[in-house]
Amino acid sequence: MRALLIALVLMVSTGNPPAVAADGVPAYADLLADCAASSDTACPGQQKALAAQWPKALAGSVPSLRNFAFCLADGCYGAFRVDPVRACALRIVVAAIGDRPIPAEDRDNFDHDCSRLGADDQQAAKLTARDLVRAIRQAAR
């Protein structure tokens, strides 16, 4: 069920169905940019370095969620497709499931990534975040 929810969230947030791994979880590759088209030599190494973090992020690891939020906002040396709505959604997830009180760094990152979005994209990020939080909490049961 968790995998289905996450796949639906990703499909709605991008407008495209995500690539799906054999276990039904959206594939890490769905987030990646084409390193062959990037002039940054760090691209392949960045993709490889973060591959192990994706399952942790889907399980609710706050540090992993922070890493992916950054990479979806920044591109991480050309390794990831820049997706401001997903980046904002992950910042919301971090705020929802992370430390209390919410650390200043997380508040600042939320403000930075989410304030740039228009009203429609902010609403899409909120809905995506809501569904991801539900999926993470359901998987933790």
Q: Decide if pLDDT at 12 tops 80.
A: no
Residue 16 has pLDDT above 50, yes or no: no
Query: Residues 81-120: pLDDT tens digits?
Result: 999 999 999 999 999 999 999 999 999 999 999 999 999 9
**Which residue ranges make up each domain of the chain?**
2-140
Residue 20 β-bridge partners: 26
**Confidence at residue 138, expressed as pLDDT on a 0 to 100 scale:** 82
Residue pair 94/66 in contact by the 8 Å Cβ criterion: yes
DSSP 67: H
- Inter-residue contact 85 to 53 (CB < 8 Å): no
Beta-carbon-side half-sphere exposure of residue 36 (alpha carbons within 13 Å): 0
Is residue 15 pLDDT above 90, yes or no? Answer: no
Cα-based distances in Å from 84 to 4, 36, 100, 124: 22, 22, 25, 11
Which residue shows structure tokens 């990152």? 109
Distance CA 128, CA 112 (A): 18
Backbone torsions φ then ψ of 40, nearest 5 degrees: -85, 120
